[in-house]
């Protein structure tokens, strides 16, 4: 007995057709070969070198952050190695006045957007000065509630549209975040209001330990955008050029007034979920690790740039040395920041303190001056 409705419309077949249309977009394959020459971005040689520089720098930042964390000199830290193309090539498609609403792992993007590195370290250490965003840097502190940044991005994008601004709001979550109600509310609001938003899902395959297939029956996360009526792309998140092009296209559509886009970047985090006790060997095998290490975003971009004569070992060493030096300086500056006090925290609650906080301010002022 076939289902009667299939005589008119076949729901299962329609789903299959849609899912199969989401092919992963790639420009550079794992060997650094150009597989989609027509899709190559119009980036100058200098820009290509700059993108590589940022990826190499950020890999070093990750390594140093992990070791600083192990020495007890950094607090909360979510490792980024493996996700450099997803994070930095998407960011590379933005303009300075665009807004970024990051998830907790997306510190590199906001640093490259203008948040001083020493402040990023203070954020990690749990000091409010790390979250004091300099005037003119359009970022907010990393979001902890997975999904909240999606609905807020719909709000920023609506604000930008109302202001008639030719800028966009971009936000990041992960494969786990795409299961949140706020994920759908965010993309749906932005779609309905046709606002300049870019929603990125960095699908690094695991939400802490929970594998991607436990999150959803959907074959891709990208296809979830279809339900909200917004253009959606599945992209190789280990391929900087593909991520750049997908994001740039989404940005161009947004500033033309064509509304938001959803981009799923297929990637992998090499390290643990965070440095707070996560042990990836409990949920990932070394075979899986090796399979993804072979797709490394920096390796393939290096091959591509070397082939064009734009990159060599000396250049890479220079970037690494510069990164190490600047990280050292930033840590020093973070160390010099005065310790925060409860009176600071009380002062930051309201524009004008109500009676209860005024009283408590005096109590802590006395305690803290002892």
Partner 1 sequence: MAQMTMIQAITDALRCELKNDDNVLVFGEDVGVNGGVFRATEGLQKEFGVDRVFDTPLAESGIGGLAVGLCLTGFRPVPEIQFFGFVYEVMDSISGQLARYRYRTGNTFNMPVTIRSPFGGGVHTPEMHSDSLEGLMAQQPGLKVVIPSTPYDAKGLLISSIRDNDPVVFLEHLKLYRSFREEVPEESYTIPLGKADVKREGTDLSIFAYGLMVHESLRAAEELAKEGYSVEVVDLRTISPLDIDTIVASVEKTNRAIVVQEAQKQAGIAANVVAEINERAILSLEAPVLRVAAPDTIYPFPQAENIWLPNYKDIIETAKKVLTF
Q: Show the tokens assigned to 118.
A: 């020493």
Our CB check for partner 1 shows the closer of 81 and 154 to be 154
Helix (H), strand (E) at residue 117: helix 117-125
Nearer to partner 1, 39 or 192 (CB): 192
Of the listed 54, 127, 269, 284, which one is catalytic? 269
Q: Is 273 a catalytic residue?
A: yes
Q: Is 188 in the site for partner 1 (CB under 8 A)?
A: yes
The reply on whether position 201 binds partner 1 by CB under 8 A is no
Q: How many residues bind partner 1 (CB under 8 A)?
A: 42
| Minimum CB distance to partner 1, residue 175 (Å) | 20
Beta strands at 169-174 and 99-101: parallel, antiparallel or unpaired:
parallel
Contact residue for partner 1 among 103, 141, 260, 297 (CB under 8 A) = 141
Segments of the chain assigned E as strands: 99-101, 169-174, 197-203, 206-207, 210-211, 232-236, 261-266
- If one asks whether residue 307 binds partner 1 (CB under 8 A), the answer comes out as no
What is the rounded distance in angstroms from the CA atom of residue 186 to the CA atom of residue 178? 11
Q: Is there a catalytic annotation at residue 283?
A: yes
Q: Which of 10, 36, 131, 210 is in the footprint of partner 1 by CB under 8 A?
A: 131
Distant-in-sequence contacts of 206-212, Cβ < 8 A, 24+ apart: 206/175, 206/269, 206/273, 206/280, 206/283, 206/284, 207/174, 207/175, 207/176, 207/177, 207/179, 208/176, 208/273, 208/278, 209/273, 209/278, 209/280, 209/282, 209/283, 210/176, 210/283, 211/283, 212/175
Q: Give helix then strand counts, H and E, for the chain.
A: 16, 7
Indicate the pairing of strand 210-211 with strand 206-207.
antiparallel
- Name residue 77's beta-bridge partners: none
Residue 148 engages partner 1 in binding (rule: CB under 8 A): yes
Q: Give yes or no for residue 185 binding partner 1 (CB under 8 A).
A: yes
CB 320, CB 56: distance < 8 Å: yes
| Interface of this chain with partner 1, residues 75 to 94, rule: CB under 8 A | none
Q: Does 163 bind partner 1 (CB under 8 A)?
A: yes
In this complex, which beta carbon is closest to partner 1, that of residue 316 or of residue 344?
A: 344
Answer yes or no whether residue 107 interacts with partner 1 by CB under 8 A: no
Site for partner 1 in 312-331 (CB under 8 A): none
Question: Is 184 labeled as catalytic in the residue annotation?
Answer: no
- Residue tagged active-site, from 273, 284, 300, 302: 273
Among the residue ranges 65-73, 181-189, 214-222, 269-277, the one whose residues contact partner 1 (CB under 8 A): 181-189
Active site residues: 269, 273, 283
Applying CB under 8 A, the residues found at the interface with partner 1 are 99, 128-129, 131-133, 140-141, 145, 148, 150-160, 162-163, 169, 181-182, 185-186, 188-189, 192, 344-345, 347-351, 354-357
């Amino acid at each position: 007995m076939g289902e009667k409705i299939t005589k008119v419309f076949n729901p299962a077949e329609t789903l299959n057709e849609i899912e199969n249309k989401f092919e992963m977009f790639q420009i550079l394959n794992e060997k650094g070969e150009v597989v989609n020459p027509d899709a190559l971005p119009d980036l100058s040689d200098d820009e290509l070198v700059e993108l590589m520089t940022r990826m190499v720098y950020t890999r070093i930042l990750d390594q140093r952050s992990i070791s600083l964390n192990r020495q007890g000199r950094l607090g909360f830290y979510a490792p980024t190695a493996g996700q450099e193309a997803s994070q930095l090539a998407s960011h590379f498609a933005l303009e300075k006045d665009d807004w970024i609403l990051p998830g907790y792992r997306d510190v590199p993007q906001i640093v490259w957007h203008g948040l001083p590195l020493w402040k990023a370290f203070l954020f990690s250490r749990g000091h409010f000065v790390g979250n004091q965003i300099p005037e003119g840097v359009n970022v907010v502190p990393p979001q902890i509630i997975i999904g909240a940044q999606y609905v807020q991005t719909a709000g920023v994008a609506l604000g930008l549209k109302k202001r008639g601004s030719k800028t966009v709001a971009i936000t990041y979550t992960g494969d786990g975040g795409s299961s949140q109600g706020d994920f759908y509310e965010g993309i749906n609001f932005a779609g309905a209001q046709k606002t300049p938003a870019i929603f990125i899902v960095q699908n690094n395959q695991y939400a802490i330990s929970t594998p991607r297939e436990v999150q959803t029956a959907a074959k891709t996360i990208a296809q979830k955008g279809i339900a909200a009526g917004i253009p959606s792309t599945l992209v190789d998140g280990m391929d900087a050029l593909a991520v750049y092009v997908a994001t740039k296209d989404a940005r161009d559509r947004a500033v033309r007034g064509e509304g938001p886009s959803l981009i799923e970047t297929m990637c992998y985090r090499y390290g643990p979920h965070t440095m707070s006790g996560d042990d990836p060997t409990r949920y990932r095998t070394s075979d899986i690790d090796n399979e993804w290490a072979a797709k490394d975003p920096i390796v393939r971009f290096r091959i591509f740039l070397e082939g064009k004569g734009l990159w060599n070992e000396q250049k890479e060493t220079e970037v690494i040395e510069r990164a190490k030096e600047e990280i050292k300086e930033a840590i020093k500056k973070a160390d010099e920041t005065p310790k925060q006090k409860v009176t600071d925290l009380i002062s930051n609650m309201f524009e004008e303190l109500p009676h209860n906080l005024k009283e408590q301010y005096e109590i802590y002022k006395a305690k803290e001056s002892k």
